[in-house]
């Protein structure tokens, strides 16, 4: 187990937007190790909806043909950091669906490092963030494709919704590829609720708050589609969304 004892500063790339003072009370972060053996399938959910600061580091290793489904909901902590380091063996498959919902002066962040080490592995990351007040939401995600990892298929989809212009969204999707015959893509967008979409729903009889709520529910649901606990995750997210709105 490798535990970094020195508290990082914002000069460290993975902590550029962190609340270092909040992190101080949680440091060092002990890694949670997850190993999925060859041919095995597993899933895991992280739901952080309390007000206390939280920081977690997951180190995940997938064997040949292994599959792992990870879903994350952070909605409530004054400071919440979820860091994920994944290494995929041959033919392995990794899925991450994560939603962050923040208001006030909360700071939430998801940091991922997904490394394809062998042939024909696949990974997909879907990150959805909703921010209000003076909150900050961050996603820093790196996909690394090592030499010899031909047949890799990796993607990141990162979207953040600002409910107030005083909120801040940070995003850094990153690809580092050292193999040929690779599919790797990322998409990133930060914006506000679509005015035309809101107008359409209101023209069908919904009030402005109802229209906003419906659009945000659909936005967040994208992170949990296909999860074993999809309904429970969505309900927890909607409960927090009601408080934000």
Mean pLDDT, consecutive 10-residue stretches, the chain (245 aa), reads 79 94 95 98 96 96 98 96 98 98 97 98 97 97 96 96 96 94 92 87 86 92 94 93 88
CB atoms under 10 Å from CB of 21, counted, come to 9
The pLDDT assigned to 3 comes to 64
The pLDDT assigned to 193 comes to 87
CA distances, 234 to each of 77, 147, 177, 237 (Å): 18, 39, 34, 5
The pLDDT assigned to 2 comes to 59
Q: Is residue 97 part of a domain?
A: yes
The two structure tokens encoding residue 95: 């899925």
Q: How many domains does the chain have?
A: 1
- DSSP for 67-122, please give it: EEEEEEEEES-SEEEEEEEEEE-TT-EEEEEEEEEE-TT-EEEEEEEEEE-STT-E
- C-alpha to C-alpha distance for 154 and 176, rounded to whole angstroms: 11
Q: Is residue 233 part of a domain?
A: no
The pLDDT assigned to 68 comes to 98
Q: Is residue 205 part of a domain?
A: no
pLDDT digit string, tens, across residues 91-104: 999 999 999 999 99
Supply the range of the domain harboring residue 82.
13-194
Element (H, E) at 44: strand 41-48
The pLDDT assigned to 127 comes to 97
Q: Is residue 202 part of a domain?
A: no
The two structure tokens encoding residue 136: 């900050």
The pLDDT assigned to 5 comes to 81
Q: Is residue 80 part of a domain?
A: yes
The pLDDT assigned to 1 comes to 54
The two structure tokens encoding residue 223: 């992170």
- C-alpha to C-alpha distance for 91 and 129, rounded to whole angstroms: 30
- Taking phi over 0 as left and psi of -120 to 50 as alpha, with beta for the rest, 226 belongs to left
Task: Look at the pTM and tell me if it is higher than 0.75.
Answer: yes
- Taking phi over 0 as left and psi of -120 to 50 as alpha, with beta for the rest, 65 belongs to left
Q: Look at the block and give the residue holding tokens 């909605």.
A: 75
């Amino acid at each position: 187990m490798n535990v970094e004892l020195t508290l990082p500063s914002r000069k460290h790339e993975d902590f550029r937007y962190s609340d270092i003072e909040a992190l101080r009370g949680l440091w060092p972060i002990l890694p949670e190790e997850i190993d999925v053996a060859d041919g095995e399938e597993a899933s895991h959910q992280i739901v952080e909806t309390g007000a206390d600061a939280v920081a977690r580091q997951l180190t995940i290793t997938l064997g040949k043909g292994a599959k792992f489904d990870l879903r994350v909901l952070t909605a409530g902590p004054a400071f919440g950091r979820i860091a994920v380091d994944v290494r995929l063996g041959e033919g392995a498959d990794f899925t991450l669906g994560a939603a962050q919902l923040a208001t006030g002066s909360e700071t939430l962040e998801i940091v991922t490092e997904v490394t394809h080490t062998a042939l024909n592995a696949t990974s997909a990351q879907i990150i959805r963030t909703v921010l209000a007040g003076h909150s900050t939401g961050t996603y820093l995600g790196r996909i690394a494709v090592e030499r010899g990892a031909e047949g890799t298929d990796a993607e990141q989809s990162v979207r953040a919704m600002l409910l107030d212009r005083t909120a801040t969204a940070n995003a850094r999707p990153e690809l580092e590829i050292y193999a040929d015959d690779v599919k790797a893509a990322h998409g990133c967008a930060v914006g506000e609720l679509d005015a035309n979409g809101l107008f359409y729903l209101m023209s069908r009889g919904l009030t402005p708050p109802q229209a906003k709520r419906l659009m945000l529910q659909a936005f967040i649901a994208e992170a949990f589609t296909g999860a074993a606990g999809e309904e429970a995750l969505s309900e927890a997210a909607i409960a927090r969304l009601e408080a934000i709105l």
